Chains A and B, each alone.
Chain A
Amino acid sequence: MADRPPAEGDRTAAKAGDNRPALSLHVPEPKFRPGDTVDFSHIEVPEAGAQPRPDETTDPKDMRDFAYGLIRVLGDDHKAHGPWDPKLDPETLRTMLGHMAMTRAFDERMFRGQRQGKTSFYMKCTGEEATSVSASMALAGDDMIFPSYRQQGILIQRGYPMIEMINQIYSNKGDKLKGRQLPIMYSSREHSFFSISGNLATQTPQAVGWAMASAIKGDSRIAATWVGEGSTAEGDFHSACLFATVYNAPVILNVVNNQWAISSFSGFAGAERATFAARGLGYGIASLRVDGNDPLACYAAEQWAATRARANAGPTVIEFFSYRAEGHSTSDDPSGYRSAQERDEWPLGDPVMRLKNHLIAIGEWDEERQQAMDLEAAEYVKKTTKEAEANGILGHGLHHPFRTMFEDVFEELPWHLQEQAEQAIRERETKFPGGLDL
């Protein structure tokens, strides 16, 4: 009714509530901004090993405390404690540490590559390595992964050739995705790793659908999906929870709470009101909240959820309580919105250091071997990067042929795309009369 003036009676009515208190809006604000002194004492860090371990078939309604608590295994003494200790043998622990160190070395190199102009974009997972590597190790190699964009550790853990990852990041002629996806949006059917989408949380209900399909066919494989705490705000996450619980889908919904969604702190995803694990409770889904920087706790929680799913006991929501030590991506500058102290003050430490210290504490590792491992990882990444660079870097001509732009839109090329492909080739000849090595 914007084109009509309000009637006299309406104005009178508007005054009827004058003696009521004015309503006010709450806009969440993080505790610390740039320049602030950080004090994380409000974060409750329970003693490692203090949390009981329920049976994998426990009814979700009996799991409230697991959604609001924090499952921890590694204590300040670097030893494993309590019923959630997965009791992994030293060799497995060293393998886990190796994948995490490799992930970190990969991140360092790719970040530098972006800064050197070899690609447009990169996203590190520094500080969150356990949420991918450890969790993935608790799954079977053919369980289906529906990742978000910060689970490079899963590909490394699953033995996906690193050169393929770098070819993808450089969008070069070796990129098996034909240079179509933003860097870091990998896909590998062979490694049961679903194609990454740039639209957030879309993969979560898809994972549920995959898991439902597996159950429909009487398969034994389960699905696991990862989403950031910020993206749990998307409707897709809630659709995923609903379908997962309705059909008792064999799926694990992992939420990596790294505290930040670019510059928005977790309060904007609802963290001030409830934990992210507690989202699952409302749907009747088993829910665990885990120290995401404790590699053993991450492994144990994922293993618990996988056992539950395989037993047809239903889905699980796992919140990995972690911290994004670096910026959101190479396009982000966290010094513009959060205290630089946060990373150092984070009360749950660093997952790589914690696992290293654990191995040292149990007499299965030492600083010299750690240094050698880090060096070896850095050298391996460097060597592989050089091999990938032989296939080209972004914008330096060594990309896929023009015609590939029109492939895979449909299974078969329809007439209108055929015409447009011919146009692109004509344009190329005009733009580059000398020709390109294509």
Chain B
Amino acid sequence: MIEAINEALDISMAKDPDVVVMGEDVGYFGGVFRCTAGLQEKYGKTRVFDTPISECGIIAVAVGMGAYGLRPVPEIQFADYIYPGLDQLISEAARLRYRSAGEYIAPMTVRSPFGGGIFGGQTHSQSPEAIFAHVAGLKTVIPATPYDAKGLLISAIEDNDPVIFFEPKRIYNGPFSGYYDKPVQPWKKFDASIVPEGHYKIPLGKARLATEGEELTIIAYGTMVHVVEAVCAEKGVEADIIDLRTIVPLDIETIEASVKKTGRCLIVHEATRTAGFGAELSALVTERCFYHLEAPVERVTGFDTPYPHSLEWAYFPGPVRIGEALDKILSE
């Protein structure tokens, strides 16, 4: 997935001279996860550059660059560090088009590795997507495969609205089954890792049906798509697994059609439970599909605690929690 992201940046920068990449360590070093490797060498220091450790500054400067007419792609090294830049994202980037009635826009793509599963402790593991889903004017994208990562990132960069692009770092190098004691298989062993060369786009707001099945609908995104797939395969459950790809805008049509078909719905995300994006999904499914439901909508999420370090395996919404929820929802 790292190579796919790098390719998307490379192609976007080659195509449009207004695309600039910035963030801590993204220049000479190529990013701590190597997503921006080689870009400075290729496009020069004024289009790919390191920044001070100031998330507020990084995002604010991107807003100003967007207002000028550039398409900045700032990187926040970990999603957990995005909070110092929140005012600039929420009050400024998200509202600029609205408050100026379209005179000024902030066409920026904030890339940030997010999510847990790497023993990153409470400051390298969080999933803050619900905060952004709550803000009018922001789009939030979370790819689950290398193919999607490339196509979605190109779409995000070409989009005229500010986009938060969360990269599930647990699956940077290969899908995660949720079992901490099983070795990770590299992406190259999977079809989803086949990334076509050149420019292609995956539209924002269009979900992917990862697997098809009649028993229930499972809505997930990011790392959890793979955990859910592994659990279903193991338990022999045939589910419509919907990989949302973007949570705002949301593909309600795919969700509605699937739940009306299966009559059961499980929502899975890593973020804390209370007021998480799963709550919104659950409400939408209940509002729109109530008379088709044969069981209450269930949620599997992280716990409402800060992300622990040594007990991460117990915190992470893995196969046991998902398996229990599946048993419950399928028995009703």
CB closest chain-A residue, reference B96: A195
* CA A235 to CA B58, docked complex, whole Å: 13
Interface stretch (choices B28-36, B87-95, B187-195, B298-306):
B87-95
Q: How far is the CB of A158 from chain B (nearest CB, A)?
A: 15
Candidates A198, A207, A243, A414; contact of B57 at CB < 8 Å: A243
Chain B residues near A195 (CB, 8 Å)? 96, 99-100, 103-104
Query: Which residues of A in the span 195-239 have a Cβ within 8 Å of any Cβ on B?
Result: 195, 197-199, 202, 204-217, 223, 235-236, 239
* CA A345 to CA B57, docked complex, whole Å: 40
B101 within 8 A of A: yes
With contact pairs A199-B92, A235-B84, A410-B137 given, residues A206 and B101 touching in the complex (Cβ less than 8 Å): no
Query: Which residues of B in the span 259-279 have a Cβ within 8 Å of any Cβ on A?
Result: none
Q: Are A206 and B92 in contact (CB under 8 A)?
A: yes
Q: Are B103 and A187 in contact (CB under 8 A)?
A: yes
With contact pairs A209-B60, A209-B61, A216-B20 given, residues A415 and B249 touching in the complex (Cβ less than 8 Å): yes
With contact pairs A180-B98, A208-B61, A240-B60 given, residues A187 and B91 touching in the complex (Cβ less than 8 Å): no
B295 within 8 A of A: no
* CA A154 to CA B102, docked complex, whole Å: 22
* CA A189 to CA B103, docked complex, whole Å: 6
Q: Are B64 and A205 in contact (CB under 8 A)?
A: yes
CB closest chain-B residue, reference A202: B92
* CA A215 to CA B49, docked complex, whole Å: 14
CB closest chain-A residue, reference B49: A247
CB closest chain-A residue, reference B67: A210
Which one of B51, B62, B68, B70 has the highest number of Cβ atoms from chain A below 10 Å of its Cβ? B68
A436 within 8 A of B: no
A177 within 8 A of B: yes
Chain A residues near B62 (CB, 8 Å)? 209
A176 within 8 A of B: yes
With contact pairs A210-B67, A240-B57 given, residues A411 and B97 touching in the complex (Cβ less than 8 Å): yes
Query: Which residues of A in the span 85-109 have a Cβ within 8 Å of any Cβ on B?
Result: none
Q: How far is the CB of A415 from chain B (nearest CB, A)?
A: 6
* CA A47 to CA B328, docked complex, whole Å: 84
A26 within 8 A of B: no
* CA A236 to CA B89, docked complex, whole Å: 13
Chain B residues near A414 (CB, 8 Å)? 205, 248-249
Q: How far is the CB of A170 from chain B (nearest CB, A)?
A: 15
CB closest chain-A residue, reference B74: A209
Q: Are A411 and B61 in contact (CB under 8 A)?
A: no
A181 within 8 A of B: yes
With contact pairs A195-B103, A216-B47, A239-B56 given, residues A210 and B161 touching in the complex (Cβ less than 8 Å): no
Candidates B60, B70, B101, B249; contact of A205 at CB < 8 Å: B60
Q: Are B56 and A235 in contact (CB under 8 A)?
A: yes
A416 within 8 A of B: yes
Candidates A187, A240, A415, A416; contact of B99 at CB < 8 Å: A187
Chain A residues near B97 (CB, 8 Å)? 408-411
A341 within 8 A of B: no
* CA A159 to CA B61, docked complex, whole Å: 28
With contact pairs A216-B46, A410-B161 given, residues A206 and B63 touching in the complex (Cβ less than 8 Å): yes
Candidates B100, B161, B250; contact of A416 at CB < 8 Å: B250
With contact pairs A202-B91, A206-B63, A216-B20 given, residues A180 and B57 touching in the complex (Cβ less than 8 Å): no
* CA A260 to CA B139, docked complex, whole Å: 39
* CA A223 to CA B205, docked complex, whole Å: 36
With contact pairs A210-B68, A216-B70 given, residues A177 and B61 touching in the complex (Cβ less than 8 Å): no
Chain B interface residue count, Cβ-Cβ cutoff 8 angstroms: 45
Q: Are A411 and B160 in contact (CB under 8 A)?
A: yes
Q: Are B88 and A194 in contact (CB under 8 A)?
A: no
Report the interface size class on chain A: 35 or more
Q: How far is the CB of A420 from chain B (nearest CB, A)?
A: 10
B65 within 8 A of A: yes
Chain A residues near B84 (CB, 8 Å)? 235
CB closest chain-A residue, reference B205: A414
Candidates B64, B91, B99; contact of A210 at CB < 8 Å: B64
* CA A242 to CA B53, docked complex, whole Å: 10
A328 within 8 A of B: no
A246 within 8 A of B: yes
CB closest chain-B residue, reference A210: B64
Q: Are A205 and B47 in contact (CB under 8 A)?
A: no
Q: How far is the CB of A197 from chain B (nearest CB, A)?
A: 6
0/1 string, A382-425, CB within 8 A of B gives 1: 00000000000000000000000000111100111000000000
* CA A188 to CA B102, docked complex, whole Å: 11
Q: Are A208 and B91 in contact (CB under 8 A)?
A: no
* CA A415 to CA B256, docked complex, whole Å: 13
Query: Which residues of B in the span 117-168 have a Cβ within 8 Å of any Cβ on A?
Result: 136-137, 139, 159-161
With contact pairs A176-B101, A189-B103, A235-B56 given, residues A211 and B64 touching in the complex (Cβ less than 8 Å): yes
A178 within 8 A of B: yes
* CA A246 to CA B91, docked complex, whole Å: 25
Chain B residues near A242 (CB, 8 Å)? 52, 54, 57
Q: Are B98 and A409 in contact (CB under 8 A)?
A: yes
Chain A residues near B137 (CB, 8 Å)? 409-410
Q: How far is the CB of A366 from chain B (nearest CB, A)?
A: 42
* CA A178 to CA B46, docked complex, whole Å: 37
Chain B residues near A243 (CB, 8 Å)? 51-52, 54, 57, 61
Q: Are B65 and A210 in contact (CB under 8 A)?
A: yes
Chain B residues near A198 (CB, 8 Å)? 91
* CA A195 to CA B101, docked complex, whole Å: 10
Which one of B20, B67, B72, B96 has the highest number of Cβ atoms from chain A below 10 Å of its Cβ? B67
A301 within 8 A of B: no
Query: Which residues of A in the span 226-267 have a Cβ within 8 Å of any Cβ on B?
Result: 235-236, 239-240, 242-243, 246
**Seed contacts A208-B60, A240-B57; 15 additional CB < 8 Å A-B pairs:** A144-B68, A187-B99, A194-B104, A202-B88, A202-B92, A206-B61, A209-B60, A209-B67, A209-B72, A211-B64, A243-B54, A408-B97, A410-B249, A414-B205, A414-B248
What are 24 A-B pairs at a CB distance below 8 A? A177-B100, A187-B103, A188-B103, A195-B99, A197-B99, A199-B87, A202-B60, A202-B87, A205-B88, A208-B60, A209-B60, A209-B63, A213-B68, A216-B20, A216-B65, A216-B70, A217-B68, A223-B64, A235-B56, A239-B52, A409-B97, A410-B161, A414-B248, A416-B250
* B residues whose Cβ falls under 8 Å from a Cβ of A: 20, 46-47, 51-52, 54, 56-57, 60-65, 67-70, 72, 84, 87-88, 91-92, 96-105, 136-137, 139, 159-161, 205, 248-250, 252
Query: 3 smallest A-B Cβ distances: which pairs?
Result: A209-B64, A209-B61, A205-B60
